Amino acid sequence: DSGVTQTPKHLITATGQRVTLRCSPRSGDLSVYWYQQSLDQGLQFLIQYYNGEERAKGNILERFSAQQFPDLHSELNLSSLELGDSALYFCASSARDRAGYGYTFGSGTRLTVV
Amino acid sequence: AQTVTQSQPEMSVQEAETVTLSCTYDTSESDYYLFWYKQPPSRQMILVIRQEAYKQQNATENRFSVNFQKAAKSFSLKISDSQLGDAAMYFCAYRSNFGNEKLTFGTGTRLTIIP
């Protein structure tokens, strides 16, 4: 157990639908990052939150949004889903003062859009 | 913007042999960190080894070591005495010590271990 919890582990939904992915960071970590990994591809940075505030945006579609709550858990909302949104979505967390230690990753949510 | 390049999409090695995975990166910064992550079939991302840019000494973690060439912006991973459990995708990653600190990943190298 890495300490970063992602739910659900698997999600199957139809095109046009909306889903919410949830992430609880490791205890004490203030930063949460979301990444998308399509089949056999690298990890694409979507968005970062730090202590409740959006810190950086990457290649995140307008149909996608995220937020970090006061208890530091984060949610990634994906709407108007398309077949191409099928991917593994990772959440990771890190402590601000431990930049050199990389991230702690969750086990990911596998989203399948049918 | 920083970029990370892994030019070897696939590599294979005989069990118990040594293999080196290549990674190059592009940055104008002087203070940063480099990482190798392993992603086995379970898809979990596992940190293998990390290197601080201001340290000249190459990092080592058991059978895993790096060859960090800062001037050449090269960061290769050497796996000694390869084991079947080493079979995985390996991602090189860069992280600035400034700004938003996001990790920038390479496209990965799939390592196969031949028994």
Average of per-residue pLDDT across B47-58: 91
- pLDDT score at A77: 98
Q: In this predicted model, what pLDDT tens digit does every residue of A20-60 receive, in sequence order?
A: 999 999 998 999 999 999 876 789 999 999 999 998 899 89
Average of per-residue pLDDT across B31-60: 92
Q: For B35, which of A33, A45, A102 is closest by C-beta distance?
A: A102
pLDDT band at B20 (very low <50, low <70, confident <90, very high): very high
Residue A53 has a CB neighbour count (10 Å cut-off) of: 10
In angstroms, the CA A85 to CA A21 distance is 13
Query: CB B101 to CB A94 under 8 A?
Result: yes
Is the model's pLDDT at B100 over the cut of 70? no
pLDDT band at A99 (very low <50, low <70, confident <90, very high): low
Chain A within 8 Å of B102 (Cβ-Cβ)?
Answer: yes
Instruction: Give the minimum alpha-carbon distance from B110 to chain A in angstroms, rounded to a whole number.
Output: 9
In angstroms, the CA A77 to CA A96 distance is 25
B93 touches B39 (CB < 8 A): no
